Structure 1
């Protein structure tokens, strides 16, 4: 009998076992590496798309860099990105800058840099988006439109064609956020649609299918016109479960008065409840304002109103840390495009985490 056959069979079995061992080892090594590479690829894809907003010409005009709006983690992994709304707001509210006007880092987990086409996908999940309140909400709404129009020079304005030469020079870039230029500012998606239909310059606009608006509110009780505008945007809409998110600020309007701000918040929550629709609310805790004495008042307001809002099941985004080491205008009441664009991207991240059913 040939005794070599059993030996050959053993050799084949050992070779097969060795092959399986090598395959398994390669799998457990490559799988996490491949996962991390996919995450990095996604991150870099976001950065490359952001250059459509911040191309070199715009950067030279307005001196705004990509890192002013968004800075990725130093060593990005999938676990470093916020996976819940609560962790996102915690990260964005409690981040820090490593020096004056340096990029802002979220605490712990990180948010995403969302390019324009994906911003539209986020917004189209809703009936509409409404910014309500004082100049804090107004500045972020203006920056929100700059992102949708991919225009940092005049993107917050109804169009440079309606401005005189002097106003065009005085209301560009950061100056779009000044009170002197407020009459030219966009207040709703209808303004943008009118610009597009008119065929005027700088008429590019994404996200045509979703209405959005800023409703100015700086008094309590709110004016009848502000309430009517809110009802037009939210009441009697089809599909009551599809959200109409509200972004609300009242710190500057109340001069950091806790009682007045609480009353104003209650008023708008009651209006939202009466709509019998799904209206999630985000309360914006105010930015730092300049002097240490003033900032003490702002910080105390932030702490107390954050507690009040959360007890009412309202989400809270704190803007204090973001602005504490940022260049401001108007004695700390305005921070220009860098901060406003970063805040607008934070709002879009919050919108992306909202449930739609």
Structure 2
């Protein structure tokens, strides 16, 4: 009994308390060590939803307001693009879909190609230079890797249009595929150090020394995807190759009516060289500025291009066409052309040529609403933000074109 009493008494002493605590701590650690391997399915659905609601509430609470007043919750697709910080550009400045309080889209993604084109053509901005919103449904912004998968569905992609207008869109298309906002549309290996600094970000679109300007000025824009591949093979300081370069894409410029024979031959050469399978060859066609937005002259150009492509590819399913409508007129539009190229004339041109394009089986994407509340640096042309948005809209169309 004495030993028993001593033993009991020893547990009553202060140091015994520490021993008990140590034992309890060991058992607690062992329990949590093994519980960490327990399947997460033991966490109830209610608990998971509650956790998600807390995280979403924090995300919404801390999100910054975009320029249109909506919470900026969409990711920045430019976050790892070269020049994004230097150019001061985030994709959320251009693409910021409406979000409900629970984080879901206010509107669904467009269900099919026609609804997509109608929504993009009929949308608008909530405030000058704010992100563009489609009309009734949402379009997508794709990562460069996703753009590559879209392009893999085709034999080639051809941009056909005027040097000043369509070259900007194709430059932005190249910037997305090169993940380069600073000079992604340019043949940077041609530029000396002075031009390399001068032709960065917005300036690659607005400075006539850089590219895409009127006739008689320097043009350092990439014309087709082979130029990037050739420069890499020649060991030039390319700086930014494509994320993928498996499918040819290029720009054929047209600035006259009737269409020059050499231009038609360029289109034919692309089809002969690259259209080797049953995969489609999408064509993006834009005309108007070079012809003073004359309805009949522009229609003749449209018909000439259609006839040329049909010679090589009679199946309309293998040669999808997108008619790209003109941009609106900015407030700096020169007074001498405001009657012929002001917004009243441009609106009528947009409607009439859209009808004529649809009568010929072309899809139609109008850019009038996209640019109506956007800044134009000369009243006619638009810069990097509009060009990147237009390029992504075209990629959305490409994603809906049927293919093998």
- TM-score by length of structure 1 reads 0.82
Q: How does 1:197-346 map to 2 (within 5 A)?
A: 197=233, 198-235=235-272, 237-239=275-277, 241-276=278-313, 278-291=318-331, 294-329=342-377, 331-346=378-393
Q: 1:49 to 1:335 in 2, by over 3 A?
A: closer
Of the two structures, which has the highest relative contact order with CA contacts closer than 8 Å and spacing of 6 or more? 1
**Relative to total residues, which structure has the larger helix share, 1 or 2?**
1
**Is 1:150 matched with 2:179?**
yes
**Is 1:74 matched with 2:110?**
no
* Structure 2 equivalent of residue 196 of structure 1: 232
**Is the 2:80–2:179 Cα contact (8 Å) retained in structure 1?**
yes
Taking the aligned partners of 2:383 and 2:77, their CA distance within structure 1 comes to 23
Which consecutive unaligned segments of at least 5 residues does structure 1 have? Answer: 1-25, 38-43
**Is 1:169 matched with 2:167?**
no
**Is 1:351 matched with 2:398?**
yes
SS of alignment partner, residue 291 of structure 2: coil
Q: How does 1:43-62 map to 2 (within 5 A)?
A: 47=75, 49-53=77-81, 58-62=83-87
Deviation at 1:167, TM superposition (A): 1.4
* Structure 1 equivalent of residue 8 of structure 2: none
Higher mean C-alpha deviation, range 288-297 or range 184-193:
288-297
The structure with more radius of gyration: 2
* Structure 1 equivalent of residue 158 of structure 2: 130
SS of alignment partner, residue 154 of structure 1: coil
**Is the 2:330–2:375 Cα contact (8 Å) retained in structure 1?**
no
Tell me the matched-pair count.
315
Structural RMSD (CA): 2.6
Taking the aligned partners of 1:351 and 1:227, their CA distance within structure 2 comes to 23
Which consecutive unaligned segments of at least 5 residues does structure 2 have? Answer: 1-44, 57-71, 212-218, 332-337
Deviations 1:60-87 (A, max 9, x none): 3212221233222323449610121101
Higher mean C-alpha deviation, range 150-159 or range 191-200:
191-200
SS of alignment partner, residue 140 of structure 2: coil
Deviation at 1:348, TM superposition (A): 0.3
- TM-score by length of structure 2 reads 0.73
Deviations 1:297-332 (A, max 9, x none): 111100111111111110111101111111111x22
